[in-house]
């Protein structure tokens, strides 16, 4: 199987005035296509920092990150946004859904930025909602869904 996520000695430090926090020191991980992986550790051990880097919301201060054969270690904000749109699905702890948009509109939104037309977006969003058993909740707002449905 091919590696989809590969980090080599990545580090992430947060500089706060005179203090530097080394949230990640030297993390090398390799995840193959189809693998399920969980990061576990105590509060403050760097799980969110690592997830932000793997999810292309942040970049490492040192080391390299190869995502699906692309070096994404050192991209600017716009380049990272494009990679996220094409390569990453991310469920946040607090979901980050748009509260006044329906489930269908929330699911279809990233396709706007991918340049897909309205008809195709809605069709695709219906398909994926159907795929997770949520066809009958397509027109519900996030606060009308259960935690798991969100
Ligand atoms: N934006 C930030 N600025 C400064 N320090 C941070 C920031 N985010 C996280 N940290 C620090 O980095 C360390 C790792 O945090 P985090 O990745 O959120 O851990 P976890 O998700 O495992 O609880 C902690 O010591 C935390 O205080
Ligand atoms: Mg966390």
- Which ligand has its closest atom nearest to the C-alpha of 57? 1
DSSP string, the chain: --EEEEEEEEEEEEEETTEEEEEEEEEEEEEETT--------TTSSHHHHHHHHTTSS--SEEEEEETTEE-TT--HHHHHHHHHHH-----TT----TTS-HHHHHHHHHHHTT--HHHHHHHHHHHHHHTT-GGGTT--GGGS-TTT-
- pLDDT (mean) for 20-47: 97
* 140 close to ligand 1 (CB < 6 Angstrom): no
The CATH number of the domain covering residues in 3-87: 3.40.50.300
pLDDT in tens, 57-85: 999 999 999 999 999 999 999 999 999 99
Instruction: Break the chain into its structural domains and give their ranges.
Output: 3-87, 103-144
Mean pLDDT of 128-141: 98
Nearest CA to ligand 1 atom 24: 44
pLDDT confidence band for 1 (50 / 70 / 90): low
């Amino acid at each position: 199987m091919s590696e989809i996520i590969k980090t080599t000695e990545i580090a992430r430090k947060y500089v706060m005035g005179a203090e530097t926090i080394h949230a990640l020191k030297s993390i090398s991980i390799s995840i193959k296509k189809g693998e399920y992986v969980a990061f576990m550790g105590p509060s403050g051990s760097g799980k969110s920092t690592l997830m932000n880097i793997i999810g292309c919301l942040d970049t490492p201060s040192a080391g390299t990150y190869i995502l699906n054969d692309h070096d994404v270690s050192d991209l600017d904000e716009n380049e990272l946004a494009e990679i996220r749109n094409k390569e990453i699905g991310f469920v946040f702890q607090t979901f980050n859904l748009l509260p006044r948009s329906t489930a269908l509109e929330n699911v279809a939104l990233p396709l706007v930025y991918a340049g897909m037309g309205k008809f195709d977006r809605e069709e695709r969003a219906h398909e994926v909602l159907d795929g997770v058993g949520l066809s009958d909740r397509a027109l519900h707002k996030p606060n009308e869904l259960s935690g798991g449905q969100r």
